[in-house]
Structure 1
Amino acid sequence: MAEPLLSLRGVQTHIGHYHILHGVEFDVAEGGLTMLLGRNGAGKTTTLRTIMGMWRAAAGEIRFDGRDITNMPTPDIARLGIAYVPESMAIFADLTVQENLVLAARSGPMDQKRLDWIFGRFEALKRFWMLPAGLLSGGQKQMLAVARAIIEPRRLLLIDEPTKGLAPAIIANMIDAFRELKDGESTLLVVEQNFAFARQLGDSVAVMDDGRVAHQGGMAAFAADSALQQHLLGLGMDTHQ
């Protein structure tokens, strides 16, 4: 079997006096999209932030493309081709949409073809190109946060609840964009509470419970097993369309 693009082994993370991750282990295969699911407080966001080096793992190992990145600084991790879209969106509110994207295109001028592709998925960004990002709606800010992460090709995208607060039409555009990314240049690890979205896009799934990964496997099998969903998540996917 091919070596996974991302691998976590025995990862433990403490935040202050709180022990959040208790030996997290899972793999993300190169290509496709892995959904990271779990109840609120299970440790999903902490896992993404630990991978990105924003919170330091107290124990265990994180490997990306065969390289140990456990103790690397966040900027160095980003330079390897990993981008992170936090739930808080992390945009520059006082800068325009254009300026936000220019700053995210670190390797040089923005590629117009790629920018046009982003506009095709998130038309509001073109419409409000010169507007300060702080004046966008919540859903538009989420679009901008995702656009910042994909304005340049990335090998791995870590995305925390991308559909939160989005209208159904925008979620449909997000699905199209993520599908094209996972079928092309990028591998995606996505935390999501919208199970219909997760089921449509996920190739594989890791389910967290109390700071550990309680299940990992194919999304199709997980989506078909309502008893397992009930056990791990407290509800079935069929209740969230």
Structure 2
Amino acid sequence: MTTATAHTDSAAPLLELSGVHTHIAAYHILHGVDLTVPRGEVTMLLGRNGAGKTTTLRTVMGLWRASQGTVKFAGQDITRLATPQIAGFGIAYVPETMGIFGDLTVRENMVLAARSARTAAQIDAERLAWIFRLFPAVEKFWNHPAGKLSGGQKQMLAVARAIVEPRELLIVDEPSKGLAPAIINNMIDAFDQLKKRGVTILLVEQNINFAKRLGDNVAVMDNGVVVHAGRMQALAQDEALQRSLLGLAL
């Protein structure tokens, strides 16, 4: 009986948006978004610029409030909750701007993100060692001002900060933007390792090759709605569908 219940729970999506509308001032940005993010997998959110991808992420996090529809996390309605409450469920968000504190050191940025630690010594040592293996630059520049890091190093720090404590869901907006191919490979490896640890990942991405290599599932947005959802591999193999949805081929 217990096993059956656990199986049902694990089969349910971790994150589910149903009929979500979002208005920002006078602008109606999301027009009824339906999005399902299965547990333990990587879901890519694709679409042209202005399709509503970032607004979708910000609405999930409560940074912008849905005017209609529901957002559920692990079966619980989080639509009306404040951002700190949503984060408290084990959801980490890395915005496109990365949101790091440039005047603080890498170490200070990490301590700020680790809510259970007041000093670097109080951060879980095993977890920190794992993060250092994922992102060697975080260890290398531990005592350097974060503002002096390169774009790729800042992105690594932003993701490292998001996972300094265990998370159930990691949401990242355009992680590969402006990164060199070697850093992109490093980022793909890091997300793959996170997935193997049971973290569910939702990524907004413009780099189609990145999406194809990493994604299990894909949702494509256009004009504030999801116009296609399915397995990433199926979209990667269908050039006609790619052109009709994205105006390009993978």
Aligned 1:1-241 pairs, distance under 5 A = 2-108=11-117, 109-237=122-250
1:160-212 deviations in Å (ceiling 9; x for gaps) = 00011211111111111100111222100000111111011100000000000
After superposing the two structures, state which structure 1 stretch, 75-84 or 108-117, moved more: 108-117
**What TM-score, normalized by structure 2, do the two folds share?**
0.93
SS at match of 2:67: strand
Please tell me the residue identity of whatever aligns with 1:201: L
CA-based RMSD of the aligned residues comes to 0.9
CA–CA distance in structure 2, aligned partners of residues 37 and 14 of structure 1: 21
**What TM-score, normalized by structure 1, do the two folds share?**
0.96
Deviation at 1:152, TM superposition (A): 1.1
After superposing the two structures, state which structure 1 stretch, 28-37 or 162-171, moved more: 162-171
Structure 1 residue ranges, 4+ long, deviating more than 2 angstroms after superposition: none
- Asked whether the 8 Å contact 1:153–1:185 carries over to 2, the reply is no
Deviation at 1:107, TM superposition (A): 2.1
CA–CA distance in structure 2, aligned partners of residues 103 and 190 of structure 1: 24
Percent identity among equivalent residues?
66
CA–CA distance in structure 2, aligned partners of residues 14 and 178 of structure 1: 32
SS at match of 2:13: coil
1:49-80 deviations in Å (ceiling 9; x for gaps) = 00000000000000000000000000000000
Q: Show structure 2 runs of 5+ residues with no match.
A: 1-7
Aligned positions, number: 237
Deviation at 1:121, TM superposition (A): 2.2
SS at match of 1:41: coil
Please tell me the residue identity of whatever aligns with 1:74: T
CA–CA distance in structure 2, aligned partners of residues 194 and 93 of structure 1: 26
Please tell me the residue identity of whatever aligns with 1:127: K
